[in-house]
Amino acid sequence: MDRLKDYLKTHAVNDVVQQDVLNEAAMRFGLTHRLLEKAALESGVLPVRYQRNRNTLSIEQQLALFQSRVAVVGCGGLGGYLIEELARLGVGTIVAIDPDKFEEHNLNRQILCTLETIGSPKVAAAADRVQKINPAVTLVPVRQALDSGNAPAILRGCDIVADALDSNPARIDLAAYCAEQSIPLVHGAIAGWYGQVAVQFPGEDTVINLLNSCRDKTGIEKEFGNPPFAPAFVASLQTAEVCKIITSKDRSMSGRVLFIDLKDMRFEEIRTGCPPHPLL
């Protein structure tokens, strides 16, 4: 491993190593892209694919992302963009959870849905997409709906859960699973021109309180559908929160709910009364 690290450092320019050097190292040392990326980041060398993350994220933070495991629950509108962005960000392991296959009415907004993937399991399309973006990222496909029976095993070891579900009763259950396992939850939901984002750390009840009153109510997405810009926008906000929780924690939106109105292009913040999480 020391020889590999010396090789990477020797071939790095300004601490950045080009992809062809990584490819050569993969052959020379007989290693996977995943192990190579890990070795590079541990050596203080940045794979060139992350060059434009630099100065927003340090090499240490990039390594923290690589070592993290994030569950994306739902691989439709929000989930597709979350997986795309988390893979490009450099999150090392993404657990993608969804029981469904793509259908034609997903084409307007679900980035993983193409003419080629209609009829395919959403988690299989997610695995293919991540492999094309970054073979160093492991996508764990779970073609199941989360329930109280399987959630402990599926979510075990995850550092963060991103909520990309499409029903509030399922979200309330997810918030409970996260609370039971002390996993931070990054909530997102969309409907028409509108969306909302919130974060719930262990010991907090922000998302549970937010959704409890919606348990028996039909979301306005049933009337207004979901145009493409809403999931792209809300998933990007969720990805930013995931990134901060992994890399710094100090600027998370814990204790707030953000309501997004893309029609009037206005953003409303409600402070929920939760004090900032003690770990922050």
- In contact, 23 and 1? CB cutoff 8 Å: no
Closest CA to 180 of 163, 200, 164: 200
Site string for another protein, 223-242 (x = CB under 8 A): -x-x---xx-----------
Distance separating alpha carbons of residues 61 and 243, to the nearest angstrom: 9
Return the range that interacts with another protein (CB under 8 A); candidates 37-45, 55-63, 220-228, 243-251.
Answer: 220-228
Residue 198 C-beta: closest distance to another protein, Å? 11
Q: Does 29 bind another protein (CB under 8 A)?
A: no
Contacts of 85 (CB under 8 A, 6+ apart): 235, 236, 239
Distance CA 44, CA 29 (A): 19
Q: Are 224 and 193 in contact (CB under 8 A)?
A: yes
Q: Is 60 exposed, middle or buried (0-12, 13-18, 19+ CB in 10 A)?
A: exposed
Among 37, 84, 85, 163, binds another protein (CB under 8 A): 163
Tell me which of 21, 45, 66, 76 binds another protein, using CB under 8 A.
76
Strand 185-191 with 160-163, pairing: parallel
162 with 71: CB under 8 angstroms?
A: yes
Instruction: Kindly tell me which residue out of 99, 135, 202, 219 binds another protein, with binding defined by CB under 8 A.
Output: 219
Beta carbon of residue 123, minimum distance to another protein (angstroms, whole number):
15
Could you tell me the smallest distance in angstroms from the CB atom of residue 57 to another protein? 27
Number of residues that bind another protein (CB under 8 A): 42
Interaction of residue 71 with another protein, rule CB under 8 A? no
Candidates 6, 103, 180, 261; binder of another protein (CB under 8 A) is: 261
Asked whether position 193 contacts another protein by CB under 8 A, the answer is: yes
Amino acid (one-letter) located at 249:
K
Under 8 Å between Cβ of 80 and 128:
no
**Residue length of the chain:** 280
273 sits near another protein (criterion: CB under 8 A): yes
Asked if residues 78 and 235 have their Cβ atoms less than 8 Å apart, the reply is yes
Q: Is 60 in the site for another protein (CB under 8 A)?
A: no
* CB of residue 191 to another protein, shortest distance in Å: 4
Phi, psi of 31 (to 5 degrees): -115, 160
User: Closest CB to another protein among 29 and 193?
Assistant: 193
Sign of CA dihedral 148, 156, 273, 241: negative
Closest approach, Cβ 231 to another protein, in A, equals 7
Cα distance from N-terminal residue to C-terminal residue, the chain: 35
| CB of residue 65 to another protein, shortest distance in Å | 24
Nearer to another protein, 62 or 110 (CB): 110
Interaction of residue 275 with another protein, rule CB under 8 A: no
For another protein, the binding residue among 67, 209, 236, 248 (CB under 8 A) is 209
Residues that bind another protein (CB under 8 A): 74, 76-79, 163-168, 171, 188-196, 209-210, 213-214, 217-221, 224, 226, 230-231, 259, 261, 264, 268, 270-273
